[in-house]
Structure 1
Amino acid sequence: MKGAVAILSPFAWDHALAQADRVLHFGRAPHEWLWFIVQSPLAVRSFNLAYNSWFVVLIASVFIACITRRDTKLRHQFLMSFMLVWILAGFFLAMGLSSAGPCFYERLGLGSDYHSLMQALAAADRIYPIWALSTQDIVWSGYIGATPGSLGISAFPSMHVAMAVLFALYATRRSRLAGLLMWAFAAIIMVGSVVLGWHYAVDGYASVLISIAIWKACGYFLGKFAPEGVAA
């Protein structure tokens, strides 16, 4: 779905989202508040490792939900929420507020607001491999047609954050410890999305609200209309 966003709806919201970030963060870009992390190559590397582990957590969460032996409302709530977050946020909302993200801000000719961030990431990459940078180059090459295919560019909302929050909501209902661990993971993904230049902070904030709203809506729907025989 992400690959279709830039084709169907050209990027038009980056400047507005960048400005919203500054308004919400007292006149400064969010990465400036996180500069103590950005200027540490080891910290950047650690956040990149955590960010890349997101896909493994996604697969594990869906797998656990699918193999749950009891056909619980919780299982349905998670899987329904999972699909709706991808469809409503990952496609329709991404189309409506199409944006590329801070890492592509300068490449789009929008200014040098994030130049210092990208330079700091490049400096960290000379000490530890920062995979986000090579991935950003790959998706940009696909976007401009320099290489065949495209993994898709779409900043708003952050699906990494949206899914991490959904994992945390699900895990909290299964186990208090699992919930605490997954909320910590969601916080790391949120910070990492900004530090690595993938997202504006407002992308993540919106994603948190969207996932919680969809989760609660699905829970309400199942509470009212779940078929008999589905355990609570």
Structure 2
Amino acid sequence: MLPFLILIGLIVAAVVSQPRAPASWLLHKLASRGVGAASTLGVFILCLAAFTAYKHEFSQMVPFFADQFLARIDADLHFGDPWRWARALPVPGIADRALYILYSQLWFVVLATVVVVAAWLDDASKRQRYFLSLITTAVVLGVIVRLAASSAGPIFYDRLFDPDRFEDLIRSLKASDSGPDTLLITDHLYASYTTHRASIGTGISAMPSFHVAIAVLNALFLSSLNRRVGALAWTYAGVILFGSVYFGWHYARLFLDHRDRSDMAL
């Protein structure tokens, strides 16, 4: 997938940077930033592999201890479980499927595309600020806070704590258009957790939501480059925000914390 994702990122960057002559921009970039960008992408791939491995190992090192506390606080703050409010909305089957694709399948594509755009960026200060922010987000949220509040999330609650606490959520997922596919992902992640086998994308973590943090970070970055692209990025971040509650992956009370920390990283 990597060559395809790099191509998408380059095309997006060309259209955004020089819409009247994207091909000329692309040729110039390959000549001026080819080696540096390739090195950046290589480091990114190595860091991604390391992050996945560590994320998987963290659940073995520090058991999930914060779920019961977070679930209780979450319900108190929202006068009930937030996922109930999200699933009370009249979401058509086609919108449910689209939300699943945007949340579960396109997230990494978007991340890889933005990384490619940043790697080929001429403005060194913006390029460095983005990657410094990405590293800071990964270390602070993905490592430090992850260990300080180790939790699996509502969607794993029945397997790890109480089979009845989020029974209605699981039943609602099974009855929805994309719910069974979502539960297949949880089966894969749980199998990786129980068998101690890591692969790209595995590792269970509800607090904090790296999904949400990266979507907001990318929105901040793209907004600094182009207002229209930034508006699309913020819309996508809102979709990720909603989807993390709608599918039961994360606790809603943490969303503002993620946005604030991403701003701080920038």
- For the residue of structure 2 that corresponds to 1:65, the secondary structure is helix
Give the Cα separation in 1 of the matches to 2:70 and 2:144. Answer: 17
Q: Deviations over 1:25-45 (max 9, x none)?
A: 1x2111111123487443322
Give the Cα separation in 1 of the matches to 2:91 and 2:191. Answer: 27
Equivalent pair of 2:83/2:247 in contact (CA under 8 Å) = no
Equivalent pair of 1:100/1:154 in contact (CA under 8 Å) = yes
Q: How far off its partner does 1:94 sit? A: 0.3
Deviates more, 1:128-137 or 1:181-190: 128-137
* 1:223 aligned partner: none
Aligned equivalent of 1:191, options 219, 236, 242: 242
* 2:156 aligned partner: 104
Structure showing the higher helix proportion among its residues: 2
Alignment pair present for 1:4 and 2:44: no
Q: Deviations over 1:40-88 (max 9, x none)?
A: 44332221111121101100111100111232x2211111000110011
Give the Cα separation in 2 of the matches to 1:143 and 1:106. Answer: 15
Aligned equivalent of 2:126, options 74, 94, 105: 74
Equivalent pair of 2:154/2:248 in contact (CA under 8 Å) = yes
Give the Cα separation in 2 of the matches to 1:39 and 1:212. Answer: 31
Give the Cα separation in 2 of the matches to 1:55 and 1:31. Answer: 24
Aligned-residue sequence identity (percent) comes to 33
Query: What residue identity is the alignment partner of 1:2?
Result: K
Query: What residue identity is the alignment partner of 2:204?
Result: I
Q: How far off its partner does 1:152 sit? A: 1.0
Query: What residue identity is the alignment partner of 2:143?
Result: F
Alignment pair present for 1:123 and 2:203: no
* 1:94 aligned partner: 146
Give the Cα separation in 1 of the matches to 2:80 and 2:179. Answer: 28
Query: How many residues get paired?
Result: 210
Equivalent pair of 2:100/2:178 in contact (CA under 8 Å) = no
Give the Cα separation in 2 of the matches to 1:56 and 1:208. Answer: 21
Higher relative contact order (CA 8 A, sep 6+): 1
Give the Cα separation in 2 of the matches to 1:149 and 1:111. Answer: 26
The 5-angstrom pairing of residues 119-198 of structure 1 reads 119-124=171-176, 127-128=177-178, 130-145=180-195, 148-149=197-198, 151-198=202-249
* 2:45 aligned partner: none
Measured on the aligned residues, the alpha-carbon RMSD in Å equals 1.8
Q: Which runs of 5+ in 1 are unaligned?
A: 216-232
Q: Deviations over 1:4-28 (max 9, x none)?
A: 2211110000011112211221x21
Q: How far off its partner does 1:208 sit? A: 1.5
Q: Which runs of 5+ in 2 are unaligned?
A: 1-53
The 5-angstrom pairing of residues 8-87 of structure 1 reads 8-25=61-78, 27-37=79-89, 40-51=92-103, 52-71=105-124, 73-87=125-139
Give the Cα separation in 1 of the matches to 2:82 and 2:221. Answer: 28
TM-score of the superposed pair, with normalisation by structure 1: 0.84
Deviates more, 1:180-189 or 1:108-117: 108-117
